[in-house]
Amino acid sequence: MLTTKHHVELNRGVIGKLRPEDIAAGHPCFDERAHYYVPRLHLPVAPRCNIQCNFCARSVGKKGVPSRPGVSAEVLRPEEAQRRADSFLGEDERGVVGIAGPGDPLANPEALETLRLIRKQHPDAVLCLCTNGLELVAWLPQLQAVELNAITVTVNAVDPIVGAKIYAWVKGHGGLLRGEEAARWLTNRQLEGLRRAAEAGIAVKVNTVLVPGINDQHLPEVAQAVKEAGAILMNIMPLIPCYRFASHRAPSFSELREVRRQCAQIIPQFALCKQCRADVVGTPGKCDLRWEEWAGQ
């Protein structure tokens, strides 16, 4: 894990010149110290997705839905998102602004427009996004143009036999792909996207959902593959039973700890993830708020 000894105070005037390790050290979802004092803002501008995971059910504007990835009270237009970012960064310039849904940012042109608007107004802001990586290679030149600082790619399997149990479908050039063909198509594009993003100097983390009985024994192989592709950090998250996996059990704490221990021998691990909503704001280690709660403080 990227622990306190790696932490640096970011010099906002040279943000574009910092190494990926330096960016990570000031990011609350990459660094354990920053997790407790650097705020982050998720902008919900990306409602659509280009894959369907068996554990994911996106939800927008519904009351009573548990807080988890893929959930948001609303979807913002790029201009609305920029105004929200202006307010957030005006309160604390250390803050990190990210796009994490409720769908996949790289399946939504609005995400790129949002990043462009924010970068124009805040040239020294730390910008990040979370993606499944399917379209990362295609979008990378544009992400470099807006000087994206960090990216998280969710990789749940690198073996198509395992991946076929996790993904219901994946969009391909000829339509929807299913089964092992879908998993193989996705994995190849994820690993190539990771490699190119790392080569471009972007701080790359990988998120992985631990699904007991499906990919738990496979995660060291995932860890090795993403490390070789250029990821500097891995975040293994417990399954939140949902959608087709609604009846599937979540891993126990001991199971999660053991898989993290195994993978930590291969690539550094981040173990403080809150599995946040797509519209969350606040400092992860202290409080998670919805925008209206934060703005009303």
Name the band, by pLDDT with cuts 50, 70 and 90, for residue 182. very high
| Domain locations along the chain | 4-295
171 beta partners: 176
- For the stretch 70-82, pLDDT in tens is 888 899 999 999 9
Provide the pLDDT confidence category of residue 286 given band limits of 50, 70 and 90: confident
Choice among 4-8, 60-64, 249-253 with the minimum mean pLDDT: 4-8
CB 207 within 8 A of CB 130: yes
Render pLDDT for 228-237 as a digit per residue (tens, 0 to 9).
999 999 999 9
Topology classification of domain 4-295: TIM Barrel (3.20.20)
Residue 1 is predicted with a pLDDT of 40
Query: pTM of the predicted model, to two decimals?
Result: 0.91
Least confident of 11-20, 165-174, 220-229: 11-20
Contact 94, 108 (CB under 8 A): no
Q: So what's the pLDDT on residue 63?
A: 79
Place of tokens 């995400």: 111
- Which residue intervals of the chain are DSSP H helices? 20-25, 78-91, 109-121, 136-145, 160-163, 179-199, 219-229, 253-264, 291-295
The crossing angle, in degrees rounded to 10, of helices 109-121 and 136-145 is 20
Q: How confident is the model at residue 20 (pLDDT cuts 50, 70, 90)?
A: confident
Helix spans in 74-135 (H): 78-91, 109-121
Q: Quote the CA–CA distance of 108 and 135 in Å, as a whole number.
A: 11
Pick the range with the lowest mean pLDDT from 1-10, 117-126, 256-265: 1-10
**CA 23 – CA 16 distance, rounded (Å):** 9
**How far is Cα 47 from Cα 71, in angstroms, rounded to an integer?**
10
Per-residue pLDDT of 86-98, as tens digits, reads 999 988 778 999 9
Helices 219-229 and 179-199: crossing angle, nearest 10°?
40
